[in-house]
């Protein structure tokens, strides 16, 4: 009986310790973050900002302005006790750290000085805002006008007929269930899920296909991807271009050596002679 009482008391004390709020000095961290990246003559140059945020500062500012107008959650305001809350730069930094680097909430806490629940809420709200703000403009397939622009740009760069670069990558699944590890194990012994994507010259990612098990090869991924549905149905864009006195009528994607030898793919030449 005494042992059970002691265990219950210890459990209650542990719960109280977990329930205590931690003073993360969020205001001082927000000030440091601004001095590091977001003020004139900041500590780190633009090149470091681009490397760590995966975008230019002006693009970050535009996204932050749009999202703050869309969702007032990201605007800095006083809490119930009158204490000034988190900066929008801190909230967006937290979301981008998780999206760009796959960081956990604990890792982001060290960078932005935010609680786990706040970090996860920032992530969910950020994704919701991006979806609703930019889906019609960016998260879509190219229109006929877009395709013409892509073709013209590719031709000026020496790739007539190319409408995008295609590649796929393995995204590691750290907490893959034991029962699924055989299907999701890749050749490196890791558990992963495959992401297939197509991007234009200006990094407009206009096609993504995610969810194939890491044990699948490139043909299996292509067989499940919806990117060739239009090609199979005869609805692919009709274009005409000439290379080496040969006229072609179908667009192609620039790919690496792992893709099959199909007309839809053009692979790079390792040692060009001219």
DSSP string for residues in 94-129: HHHHHHHH---HHHHHHHH---HHHHHHHHHHHHHH
SS3 203: coil
Backbone angles phi, psi at 68, to 5 degrees: -65, -35
Mean pLDDT, the chain, integer: 84
Write down how long the chain is.
Answer: 274
pLDDT at 13 over 70: no
Q: Which residues is 250 bridged to in the sheet? A: 238
- Residue 234 has a pLDDT of 67
- Residue 6 has a pLDDT of 47
Q: What is the pTM of this model?
A: 0.67
Chain centroid to Cα 210, Å, comes to 12
Place of tokens 């500062």: 57
| Residues 119-135: tens digit of each pLDDT | 999 999 999 999 999 98
Backbone angles phi, psi at 210, to 5 degrees: -130, 140
| Residues 66-122: tens digit of each pLDDT | 999 999 999 998 877 777 889 999 999 999 999 888 888 888 888 888 888 999 999
């Amino acid at each position: 009986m005494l042992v059970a009482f002691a265990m219950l008391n210890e459990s209650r004390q542990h719960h109280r310790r977990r329930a205590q709020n931690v003073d993360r000095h969020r205001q001082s961290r927000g000030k440091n973050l601004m001095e590091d990246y977001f003020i004139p003559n900041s500590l780190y140059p633009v090149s470091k900002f681009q490397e760590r945020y995966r975008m230019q500062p002006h693009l970050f500012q535009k996204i932050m302005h749009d999202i703050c107008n869309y969702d007032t959650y990201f605007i800095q305001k006083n809490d119930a006790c009158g204490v000034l809350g988190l900066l929008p730069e801190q909230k967006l930094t937290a979301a981008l750290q998780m999206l760009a680097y796959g960081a956990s909430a604990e890792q982001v806490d060290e960078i932005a000085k935010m609680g786990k629940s706040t970090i996860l809420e920032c992530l969910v709200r950020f994704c919701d805002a991006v979806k609703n703000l930019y889906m019609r403009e960016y998260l879509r397939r190219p229109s006929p006008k877009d395709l013409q622009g892509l073709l013209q740009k590719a031709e000026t760069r020496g790739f007539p007929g190319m409408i995008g670069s295609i590649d796929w990558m393995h995204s590691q699944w750290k907490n893959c269930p034991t029962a699924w590890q055989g299907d999701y194990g890749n050749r490196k012994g890791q558990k992963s899920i495959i992401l297939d994507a197509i991007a234009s010259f200006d990094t407009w990612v206009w096609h993504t296909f995610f969810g194939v098990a890491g044990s699948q090869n490139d043909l299996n991924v292509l067989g499940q991807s919806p990117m060739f549905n239009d090609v199979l149905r005869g609805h692919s864009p009709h274009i005409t271009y000439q290379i080496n006195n040969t006229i072609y009528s179908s667009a192609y994607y620039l790919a690496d050596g792992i893709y099959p030898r199909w007309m839809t793919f053009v692979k790079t030449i390792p040692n060009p002679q001219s």
